[in-house]
Amino acid sequence: METAMRFTKMHGIGNDYVYVNCFAEELPAPPEQIAPLVSDRHFGIGGDGLILITPSEVADARMRMFNADGSESEMCGNGLRCVAKYVYDHGIAKKETLQLETGAGVLTVQITADGGLAQQVRVNMGQPILEGKKIPTTFDANPVVNQKIEIAGQTFEVTCVSMGNPHCVIFVEEATDELVLKIGPQIERSTYFPARVNVEFVEVILPTEVRQRTWERGSGETLACGTGASAVCVAGVLTGRTERKILNHLLGGDLQLEWNESDNCVYKTGGATEVFTGEWMLPASST
């Protein structure tokens, strides 16, 4: 097997991954081994993880997502938008409505194109999972709203949502480095969350506008988290802090979210960017 791997670097409002087109490319090693190597921002390509675009028996394409530590996650909303753009732009499926398979099921994506390239991507993120045990958490509540937890000698009120992957949303006056970088990793690995958890610290600006920082399970702080932004939209409604349509400011850019009352699905709209394409060589010590 060749040790070279063709890749494309893409990002959704700064949430950047290394993408591999497995319709045309064969991986030189298992993805859980490759992900930490290519994600390294000093010795690798640099990114929040590795995403594989593979054939699917039930959809136009399948997305597999691996975090920077090599662990596989069910979903990534920003990654899904990039997969949709790649699938459309590179002619894998030149359709304005795409079906994409993920670890959270098959999701529908709407493409707004200009000049033959996808410019905006609207994703039906599906219905949120609110039952504590199914998120999963150790809480019996359904939904888990304003649940008190003890971390590092402090008490936090959390609202928990799964958007195919688990999220813990905490509304705060200010999303400080102390909260995100110190408390975030402790919550991620706390016993309240048996599969670990993504942690969102959220400032409410207006009932229609929030600001979010995310400590992402397996990757640390990221510039954006699409499933997290979707979970924040749901949590804002459940706690009475926000309306069903919001603008979410993340470190890497803005997303539009809507928790639709008629079908109970969350819709997320934003851009996706292809940065560059190259060839990566698997280090000899890794073969």
End-to-end CA distance of the chain: 10
Q: Are 230 and 86 in contact (CB under 8 A)?
A: no
58 strand-pairing partners: none
Q: What is the C-alpha separation between 169 and 235, in angstroms, rounded? A: 7
Q: What is the C-alpha separation between 115 and 125, in angstroms, rounded? A: 26
Tokens, residue 266: 């969350």
Q: Encode burial over 274-284: b for 16+ CB neighbours within 10 A, e otherwise.
A: beeeeebebee
Tokens, residue 196: 């670990």
Tokens, residue 197: 């958890």
Known binding positions: 15, 67, 77-78, 165, 198, 216-217, 226-227
Known binding positions for substrate: 15, 67, 77-78, 165, 198, 216-217, 226-227
Q: What are phi and psi of 181, to 5 degrees?
A: -90, -25
Count other Cβ atoms within 10 Å, centred on residue 240.
Answer: 9
According to DSSP, residue 283 is labeled P
Where do runs of H (alpha helix) occur along the chain? 31-39, 77-89, 177, 184-188, 226-238
Q: Which residues are marked as active site?
A: 76, 225
